[in-house]
Structure 1
């Protein structure tokens, strides 16, 4: 999301390898010795849990999440939009940088769990970085559309996705993540520009995503004053807040410097950094 208005916001069956490979059935249970203590059995491994999502909204529409509970501790989620619009390939080829490796390195050095809302086009341009983020437990990768085209009209000058292509655009982003090697992108979606309406929510219902907005606008897009960005975040954060920032070097050049101020100051105030999934899980548990 790039806006120019800063405040607007086993049991695997294995053949026994012995005298013969003719039998491939399950191994017999071990015999218990009478009077002996029962032999220890390996604990069963629970199936992997699915990421938390919100229940559908009214009329079954895609649910929209803005922030976590205000009364369950001082948690805050920093989210970073990895923007690249479908038609920006020539600009990237000419040397414009839509990634921000130094910012990601700083988040790792500061050990800040974060959620990256990535466009499919960004994953195609920077597959190694997408894969690195997707395989690092410090981060979770979520969907920011494939094209970074708007899902409504009149959204900060972005081109518009036709309604009949909205679902396909989201699914194409997930396909791009898989192609880049992201193993498990989250079922969360952020509308480009943060712009959505009932029509867009209805179009994405079949994808099963939870739409994630925010309650703190950092104002880092096109900003040149890192201190001003930091102040805006620090002034706005409340327990459960979701902060929107960017990890596109050319469009948000001071974000990394702002983060180096934001993180220690919020920790000094007793805040704990979490991923969006934790806030959604806490919100869902209250329903």
Structure 2
């Protein structure tokens, strides 16, 4: 065999090994690429602990030209109110949730564990709706300080357990990822309370705009209080309880279009906290 012939045979043999040279054989199917693991969901933003490791407190985002505002709704129910619910008192407000959905308004619902136990289907549908996020408003809605609007007071050694019990109630109701945000019942807290719940890993969320909707019957007055108080980065506190806040749904239907007309964008609390951390 001459050198040119040997070279040709070698080339053909190599090509045949790679692509079935000189035959009708189809190339082997390529192996599928190994599945890539799904990225881990990012943890919701929180604030760094305060001095001496105390629970950090968030009231509003920086006052920038980015006109964002968070509407928050407290779904209150005290541990001892089961008999009142059984007698027909409504601590839920499905019409309000329906209005927020119709208006396409993102919102944060601060829910008590007792509320989630009383209304598990509603808790689950709110918690699984991407328009909303569920945050913690304690299990019992008992006060974390003395003299807080007449609420029963929790002893200090039960405060953290009360917060954690609420998260357990959310999980049992089917809320998949309640946020690490905690609103003190009545908004009442002191250094002792901040220290007591510090091990729960939450950011305490207050507000800078009071709607005045609790027990209010004048929706226009509630709307005026909100519209007069909102600034860029505001957190508005409202309520998601039908008998204790009967004017809230109608007020929201006034508030939302007016704030949009003024150039505001509605966001969840998590986005405002992310902005405060320099995150978007």
SS in 1 for 2:116: helix
Question: In the alignment, does 2:54 pair up with 1:54?
Answer: no
- Select the structure that is richer in helix: 2
Q: Which residue of 2 aligns with 1:215?
A: 208
Distance 2:36 2:171 in 1: 32
Question: In the alignment, does 2:266 pair up with 1:270?
Answer: no
SS in 1 for 2:194: helix
Cα offset for 1:44?
A: 5.7
Question: In the alignment, does 2:186 pair up with 1:186?
Answer: no
1:280 paired residue among 270, 273, 277 = 273
TM-score, normalisation: structure 1: 0.85
Q: Which residue of 2 aligns with 1:21?
A: none
Question: In the alignment, does 2:193 pair up with 1:204?
Answer: no
1:259 paired residue among 233, 243, 252 = 252
Give the paired residue count.
251
SS in 2 for 1:219: coil
1:224 paired residue among 207, 217, 231 = 217
1:234 paired residue among 227, 233, 245 = 227
Question: In the alignment, does 2:153 pair up with 1:150?
Answer: no
SS in 2 for 1:141: strand
2:82 paired residue among 86, 89, 92 = 89
User: 1:16-56, CA deviations, whole angstroms, 9 ceiling, x for partnerless residues?
Assistant: xxxxxxxxxxxxxxxxx79xxx9996766321100100000
Bigger Rg, structure 1 or 2:
2
Q: Which residue of 2 aligns with 1:67?
A: 60
Distance 1:189 1:46 in 2: 27
SS in 1 for 2:277: helix
Q: Which residue of 2 aligns with 1:22?
A: none
Distance 1:129 1:137 in 2: 14
Q: Which residue of 2 aligns with 1:243?
A: 236
Distance 1:173 1:44 in 2: 32
Q: Which residue of 1 aligns with 2:117?
A: 124
SS in 2 for 1:285: coil
In structure 2, stretches of 5+ residues that fail to align are 1-17, 20-29
In structure 1, stretches of 5+ residues that fail to align are 1-32
User: 1:186-219, CA deviations, whole angstroms, 9 ceiling, x for partnerless residues?
Assistant: 0000000000000000001110000000000000
C-alpha RMSD over aligned residues:
1.6
Distance 2:133 2:253 in 1: 20
Question: In the alignment, does 2:164 pair up with 1:161?
Answer: no
TM-score, normalisation: structure 2: 0.87
Between stretches 64-73 and 39-48, larger displacement belongs to 39-48
Runs of 4+ in 1 over 3 A off after TM superposition: 38-45
Distance 2:175 2:248 in 1: 24
SS in 1 for 2:72: strand
Distance 1:69 1:140 in 2: 21
